[in-house]
């Protein structure tokens, strides 16, 4: 259930402003790839081009290729709705549907994809909540609103919602930046388990987090404010944090940057 | 450096020029300078005047109502007649509001049933579908619709709309006549249905505008949650926008209902009134509170006017209840919209 992503020559725009320029990289299946870099360097924008969420923003536009196991996501005749059903996403701020129960939140994606028997839904919801390490905390209150959970629980609920539809890839946009350290640890542990089944890409501002959870790390930077962000290098996480091949990466990681 | 001592510090002797608590309070209200004092007096006077006027209106309505009801020989709530002069019963006044309650509520409900889906559709189109260049002009036209005077709607309804509704009436009769509600026996289509259709157009702007505001407030991250799951645009609206906006739509509808209940001149122009309750909304006849007052007021004697005022008090109470309900729902919505914060 995990696929490889090959990006080549990708540019993304907001209106006439070029946000990222000429990005090429490969994301290996069943691994965690972390994107690090200063604010505004386009790492979140790049993440959103991977499931065609970028073009939802007014003026959002993408050039270049994103191949998912050889299929171009931006090919003609590709429905972005189907792309998003294969590539799940978890956001910075936990965003369970406020009017839905915990159960309905997890089942929401399945219900979009077709009709299921109640027993099938029950199974998938249980499996997804277990997969998100949330089952034991919520199994007695599945019919309560998801907005009643703590922030960390809400974020794990969002992860359960995303993995319920068995996506090929899971994109995470700073999933822990709104959470306390204990909830963050819970999510990081979860990422370690999820990579057995999914290809995971995570944007983070926290370099320790990147070092802890990821197998590969990509460093993004921009020449100046208003300039497009670029991929500086991507390599094994260990190498990036011990002996990066580009000086800018070294500077950023060791805190000499900015 | 103060050295702490065992004895508490003696309070400084109170000086005479320090402001007394009352003076401090006055200063805090900003009423020490002449300009402030004048403005305070003006604004306080306005506030009190408003309360006084409201009390006077209520007292007036209540007094005249009690005068009218004292001599009424019919049951005020159940009589199907409006004859305060007692023309048909030896000078004994007979009047009741049953027909008016029925006509007012039925025509308003018809208006809501027609207007709410259309208004929500327009609001969704403006907030979520239309490109920006199109959304602004449409919103402007909707606002314009609200600025058309009622009498113009009434004339248009009577001259243009009503005569052209016979086709719709026959169609309703063909397919839904069996329910009894949509039985059409021919005749001029100046019925509660026509009134309802006209009211629907009149309350469309307020429902559209309030709903649109609510839809625009849906948090971006809620919509993105649905999008990222692979929801189509309609599914995003169903999963994120409509649940969030539900109570807003309800309160918008209540505001529209408030206007429909009280609409006078357009109804009086279109409806061919009579004091009957028809099972079918397509039969001409019936009446509403406001229409009845407007049509009967000029030819009524003093007692007849008291009777009309009594009916006005009932409309006032109904409208008050509807507005209260709307406010209650809006207040509940405030708590609920913070649920995900």
pLDDT of residue B326 exceeding 90: no
Is the CB of residue B158 less than 8 Å from the CB of residue B267? no
Q: Do B340 and A165 touch (CB under 8 A)?
A: no
**pLDDT digit string (tens) for A60-112?**
999 999 999 988 999 888 999 999 999 999 999 999 998 889 999 999 988 88
Confidence label for B1 from pLDDT (cuts 50, 70 and 90): very low
pLDDT for position B340: 39
pLDDT of residue B193 exceeding 70: yes
Q: What percent of chain B has pLDDT over 90?
A: 47
CA of B247, closest CA in chain A: separation in Å? Answer: 12
pLDDT for position A127: 92
**pLDDT digit string (tens) for A155-187?**
999 999 999 998 999 999 999 988 888 889 989
pLDDT for position A47: 95
* Window from A232-241, B11-20, B39-48 with minimum mean pLDDT: B11-20
Cβ–Cβ contacts within 10 Å for residue B126, how many?
22
Taking the Cβ of residue B239 and every Cβ of chain A, the question of whether any pair is shorter than 8 Å is answered with: yes
pTM to 2 decimal places: 0.80
| Nearest CB to B227; choose among A53, A86, A97 | A53
CA of A156, closest CA in chain B: separation in Å? Answer: 14
Is the CB of residue B224 less than 8 Å from the CB of residue A75? no
What mean pLDDT value characterizes chain B? 86
| Nearest CB to A56; choose among B219, B227, B229 | B227
The helix (run of H) or strand (run of E) holding residue A27 is strand A17-27
Show residues of chain A in contact with B229, CB under 8 Å. Answer: 84-85, 88, 108-109, 112, 161-162, 165
Number of A:B CB contacts under 8 A? 71
* Window from A165-169, B22-26, B143-147, B206-210 with minimum mean pLDDT: B22-26
Taking the Cβ of residue B250 and every Cβ of chain A, the question of whether any pair is shorter than 8 Å is answered with: no
Look at residue B145 and give its three-state secondary structure: helix
CA dihedral B327, B332, B334, B338 (to 10 degrees): -170
pLDDT for position B282: 86
Paired sense of beta strands A71-72 and A87-90, if any: unpaired
Taking the Cβ of residue B23 and every Cβ of chain A, the question of whether any pair is shorter than 8 Å is answered with: no
pLDDT for position A70: 86
pLDDT for position B32: 72
Taking the Cβ of residue B244 and every Cβ of chain A, the question of whether any pair is shorter than 8 Å is answered with: yes
pLDDT for position B329: 76
Phi then psi dihedrals of residue A95, to 5 deg: -130, 60
pLDDT of residue B11 exceeding 60: no
| Nearest CB to A91; choose among B132, B221, B230 | B221
Pick the residue with more confidence: B18 or B45?
B45
Average pLDDT over residues B136-163: 92
A102 CB-contact burial (10 Å; exposed 0-12 / middle 13-18 / buried 19+): buried
Tokens of B145: 């619709």
Phi then psi dihedrals of residue A158, to 5 deg: -65, -35
Q: Do A108 and B222 touch (CB under 8 A)?
A: no
Q: Do A162 and B229 touch (CB under 8 A)?
A: yes
Q: Do B225 and A158 touch (CB under 8 A)?
A: yes
* Window from B7-21, B73-87, B264-278 with minimum mean pLDDT: B7-21
**pLDDT digit string (tens) for B237-258?**
999 999 888 888 988 998 899 8
Cα separation values, B133 from B4, B130, B204, Å: 74, 8, 22
Has the ipTM of the complex gone over 0.85? yes
Average pLDDT over residues B266-284: 87
Rg from Cα positions in chain A: 18
Cα separation, A179 vs A194, whole angstroms: 19
Taking the Cβ of residue B130 and every Cβ of chain A, the question of whether any pair is shorter than 8 Å is answered with: no
Show residues of chain A in contact with B231, CB under 8 Å. Answer: 81, 84, 112
Confidence label for B338 from pLDDT (cuts 50, 70 and 90): very low
Q: Do B227 and A165 touch (CB under 8 A)?
A: no
pLDDT for position B30: 64
Cα separation, A7 vs A64, whole angstroms: 8
Q: Do B222 and A112 touch (CB under 8 A)?
A: no
**pLDDT digit string (tens) for B52-89?**
998 998 899 999 999 999 988 888 998 888 988 888 87
Pick the residue with more confidence: B152 or B183?
B152
Q: What percent of chain A has pLDDT over 90?
A: 65
């Amino acid at each position: 259930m995990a696929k490889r992503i090959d990006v080549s020559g990708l540019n993304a725009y907001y209106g006439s402003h070029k946000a990222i320029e000429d990005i090429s990289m490969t994301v290996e299946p069943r691994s965690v790839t972390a994107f690090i870099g200063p604010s505004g360097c386009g790492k979140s924008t790049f993440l959103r081009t991977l499931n065609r969420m970028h073009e939802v923003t007014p003026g959002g536009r993408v050039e270049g290729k994103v191949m998912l196991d050889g299929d171009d996501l931006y090919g003609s005749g590709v429905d972005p709705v189907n792309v998003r059903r294969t590539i799940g996403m978890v956001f910075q701020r936990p965003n369970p549907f406020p009017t839905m129960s915990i159960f309905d939140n997890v089942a929401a994606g399945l219900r979009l994809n077709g009709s299921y028997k109640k027993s099938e839904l029950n199974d998938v919801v249980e499996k997804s909540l277990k997969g998100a390490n949330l089952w034991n905390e919520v199994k007695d209150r599945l019919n309560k609103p998801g907005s009643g959970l703590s922030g960390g629980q809400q974020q794990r609920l969002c992860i359960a919602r995303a993995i319920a539809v068995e996506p090929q890839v899971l994109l995470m946009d700073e999933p822990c930046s709104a959470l306390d350290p204990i909830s963050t640890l819970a999510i990081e542990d979860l990422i370690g388990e999820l990579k057995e089944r999914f290809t995971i890409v995570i944007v983070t501002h926290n370099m320790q987090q990147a070092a802890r959870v990821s197998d590969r790390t990509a460093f993004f930077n921009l020449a100046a404010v208003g300039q497009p962000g670029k991929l500086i290098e991507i390599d094994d996480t260990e190498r990036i944090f011990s002996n990066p091949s580009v000086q800018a990466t070294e500077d950023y990681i060791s805190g000499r940057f900015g | 450096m103060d050295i702490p001592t065992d004895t508490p510090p003696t309070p400084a002797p109170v000086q005479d020029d320090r402001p007394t608590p009352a003076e401090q309070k006055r200063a805090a209200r900003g009423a020490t300078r002449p300009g402030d004092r004048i403005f305070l007096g003006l604004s306080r006077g306005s506030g009190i005047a408003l309360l006084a006027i409201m009390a006077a209106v209520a007292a007036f309505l209540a007094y005249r109502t009690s005068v009218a009801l004292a001599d009424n020989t019919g049951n005020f709530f159940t009589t199907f007649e409006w004859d305060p002069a007692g023309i048909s019963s030896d000078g004994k006044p007979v009047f009741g509001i049953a027909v008016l309650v029925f006509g007012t509520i039925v025509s308003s409900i018809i208006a809501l049933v027609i207007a709410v889906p259309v208004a929500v559709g327009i609001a969704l189109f403006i907030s979520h579908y239309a490109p920006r260049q199109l959304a602004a002009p449409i919103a402007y036209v909707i606002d314009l619709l609200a600025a058309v005077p009622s009498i113009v709607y009434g004339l248009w309804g009577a001259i243009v709309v009503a005569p052209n509704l016979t086709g719709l009436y026959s169609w309703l009769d063909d397919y839904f006549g069996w329910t009894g509600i949509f039985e059409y026996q021919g005749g001029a289509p100046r019925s509660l249905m026509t009134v309802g259709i006209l009211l629907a157009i009149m309350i469309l702007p307020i429902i559209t505008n309030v709903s649109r505001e609510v839809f625009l407030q849906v948090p971006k991250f809620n919509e993105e949650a649905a999008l990222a799951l692979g929801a189509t645009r309609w599914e995003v609206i169903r999963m994120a926008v409509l649940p969030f906006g539900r109570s807003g739509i309800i309160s918008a509808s209540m505001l529209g209902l408030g206007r429909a209940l009280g609409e006078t001149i357009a109804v009086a122009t279109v409806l061919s009134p009579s004091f009957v309750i028809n099972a079918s909304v397509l039969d001409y006849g019936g009446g509403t509170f406001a229409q009845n007052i407007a049509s009967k007021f000029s030819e009524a004697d003093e007692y007849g006017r008291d009777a009309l005022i009594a009916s006005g008090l009932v409309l006032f109470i109904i409208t008050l209840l509807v507005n209260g309900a709307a406010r209650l729902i809006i207040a509940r919505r405030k708590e609920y919209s913070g649920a995900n914060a």
